[in-house]
Amino acid sequence: MSLLLERPQAPPGDVIATERFVPRARHRSAVRRTLDRLRWPLGIYTTPVTLFLLWELVSRLGWLSERVAPAPSTILRAGWDLYQRGELVPSIETSLGRAGAGLLLGLAVGVTAGVLGGLLRSGEYLFNGVFQILHTIPLLAILPLMIVWFGIDELTKVLLISFGAAVPMYLNLFAAIRGVDHRLVEMARAAGASRWRQVTRVLLPGALPGFLVGLRFSLGFSVLGLVAAELVNVDTGIGFLINRAQTYLQTDQVFFGLVIYAVLGLLADQVVRVLERVLLAWRPGYEAS
């Protein structure tokens, strides 16, 4: 028995070769990371920042009309003017409140339906057909129907955002649960694990990457739902600023509103990246981006 538990000794030549190989591989990995940082100094923001700088240069040279696309510096000045007039912060707070309420409602529906549909055959029959149909309906197409049903109050805007968030969450979570390796479930069952432990220790942790993918899509679609919701009968919010600027042909303020939406999308992506670093660090071969 002691011989079986002893660790086999590698020949001296293999030990020397391994000791030489590991530092060399680490060195190559460090060099590769350094080159990547030099090539992409701002990470995922390198290309957007470069495009903004080129945009500023082209506008300064007079190759791009201010009526068509103002320079980024002009757009930022328009945002600063809105801030000084006390309109920017309340508008952002209102839009974030709408997006947050709709996102929470949509995630609650999408996660509940996704878990039930992924774990239970009856749940699949109950939810899958409905969500597959809703997946093909654009947000703007369902907006008139929601106005007929619920009017033009805040409830319609929140429900539209929740619709955009619930559908991708359900689809990704359902596929993630059904995509968990069945051999892992069989191993847990053979080890005597109860049904509850199989779900909490195997199925749900195995579906966690798919859940995060769904969360990324839900956050993005909640921003799209916010854009669509704020195009109809609003007197505050980012959409209100854009509609008013369109009325008075203030292109710089229209672009600034679009920049706010874009920043919200980037922040949502960063939230998911942080969650991935925290929740998926246990996965073998996982490398935080």
Tens-binned pLDDT, residue by residue, of the chain (289 aa)? 333 334 445 444 444 444 454 455 555 565 666 656 666 666 777 888 888 889 889 888 888 887 788 888 999 999 999 999 989 999 999 999 999 999 999 999 999 999 999 999 999 999 999 999 999 988 888 888 888 888 888 888 899 999 999 999 999 999 999 988 888 878 888 888 788 888 888 888 888 989 999 999 999 888 888 888 887 777 888 988 998 888 888 899 999 999 998 888 888 888 888 888 888 876 665 554 4
Q: What pLDDT shows up at residue 170?
A: 95
The Cα 165–Cα 93 span in angstroms is: 20
Position 142, amino acid: I
Q: What is the pLDDT of residue 101?
A: 93
CB 190, CB 165: distance < 8 Å = no
Q: Give me the pLDDT at residue 18, please.
A: 46
| Closest CA relative to residue 111, chosen from 179, 160, 162 | 162
Tell me the C-alpha distance between 160 and 157, whole Å.
5
Count the neighbouring beta carbons within 10 Å of the beta carbon of residue 97. 13
Which pLDDT score is estimated for 14? 47
- pTM of the predicted model, to two decimals? 0.77
> Would you state the pLDDT for residue 185?
79
Largest CA distance in the chain: 86
b/e per residue, 54-86, with b = 16+ CB within 10 A?
A: ebbeebeeeebeeeebbbbebbeebbeebeeee
Quick one: the chain helix, strand, coil %, rounded to 5?
Answer: 80, 0, 20
